[in-house]
Structures are given as C-alpha cells and as structure tokens.
Structure 1
C-alpha cells in the first residue's frame, strides 16, 4: 500500500506539472488530489483488518493487528513524511522544473 500511495502521489504531481503549474503548485495540488484515493484504499484494507480481528482467532488476530499498524504507518508516511521531504527538497533546490514532469515531444523530434 505504501508504494501504491507514493506512485499515485508522484503521478498526480506529474499530471499537474504537465498542465503548466509551477513546481510548488504542482506538488501541493498533486498531494491534495491523491489524498482521497489514498485514504479510500487504506480504509478499505483497514476494514478488512477489523473484520479479520473480529472473526479470527489466535494468529489471525495477530495478523490483523500487524496489518492495521502497517496501514496506519504507511499512510502517515506517504501523506506526511514524504510530503515534508518533497516540499523541503523543492524549496531548498529552488527547482524551476520537475525531473518527473512529462516532456512534450514534437512530431519533428519523434
């Protein structure tokens, strides 16, 4: 789930940069647009973990707890920690373009 969240965030940032936004605006909009999808995906899995805990026994309950802790941790990391690092990197380097932004190829170049 953590990898999926980060891929989703960076794809959204890439889309925003492709629309011509500034680097910081693309980062902020990318995180904002990805947030609901990330929460939805993690919430669905968290519901499954709750059901496993409620109806499981022994090792299944342990797995459910581990799954829930992992989900909460990965969601926090994807939403808060990576955002902190990306925003600080963009501000620190004063980037004028994103290396992940799509490059428009003209017909003559192709």
Structure 2
C-alpha cells in the first residue's frame, strides 16, 4: 500500500507513468526496509530467548518477512514494468 501511495504522490507532482512508478518504488524502499528490519530484530530476539514453538514462530516470521520483501520489490515491480511497457498508460490507474 505504501508503494502505491508514493506512486500517487509522484503522479500528483506531474510525473509521467514510468517515472512515477520508478520514483514511487525508490522512495518507498527505505521506509519498508526500516519497518521490516525492526520486525527482523524482534524475530531474532524471540529466537534467541524462546524455546520450542516460540523459536518456530520466529523462524516463520523471518521467512515471511523475506518472502514479502522479495515479492513486493522484485515480482511486483517486474509485473508492473511489463504492464507499463505493453500498455504505455499516460497515468497509472491506482
């Protein structure tokens, strides 16, 4: 959601669809990384202090964070880039 809001802001500033997408992903990256690093720190603490199911939860949490980051910044960006190249929209309909 944060990525799409950044793209909307860039469009309101008058950027084209391609530059708005690029700037939106770039500007959202640091904010999303910051929140996910904080969650990873919590997962590391849970893993080091917990036992049994708590450790399992910490591992699952960390895997979920990495998967979410990968899909948000690699897969989603790739799909949107392919769409923009094929359709050439003047505005991104978000």
| Range of TM-score over shorter length | over 0.9
Structure of higher CA gyration radius? 1
Task: Identify the structure with bigger relative contact order (alpha carbons < 8 Å, sequence gap 6+).
Answer: 1
List 4+ stretches of structure 1 deviating above 2 A. none
Q: Which runs of 5+ in 2 are unaligned?
A: none
Between the aligned partners of 1:42 and 1:90, the Cα distance in structure 2 is 28
User: Over the residues paired in the alignment, what is the CA RMSD in angstroms?
Assistant: 0.6
**Corresponding position of 2:91:** 97
Alignment partner of 1:42 out of 36, 39, 44: 36
The answer on 1:78 being equivalent to 2:78 is no
Structure 1 or 2: more helix by fraction: 2
Asked if residue 23 in structure 1 is aligned to residue 22 in structure 2, the reply is no
Tell me, which stretches of 5 or more residues in structure 1 are unaligned?
A: 1-6, 101-110
Deviations 1:6-64 (A, max 9, x none): x0000000000111101000000000000000100100000000000000000000000
Indicate whether 1:62 and 2:56 are aligned. yes
For this pair of structures, how many residues does the alignment match?
Answer: 94
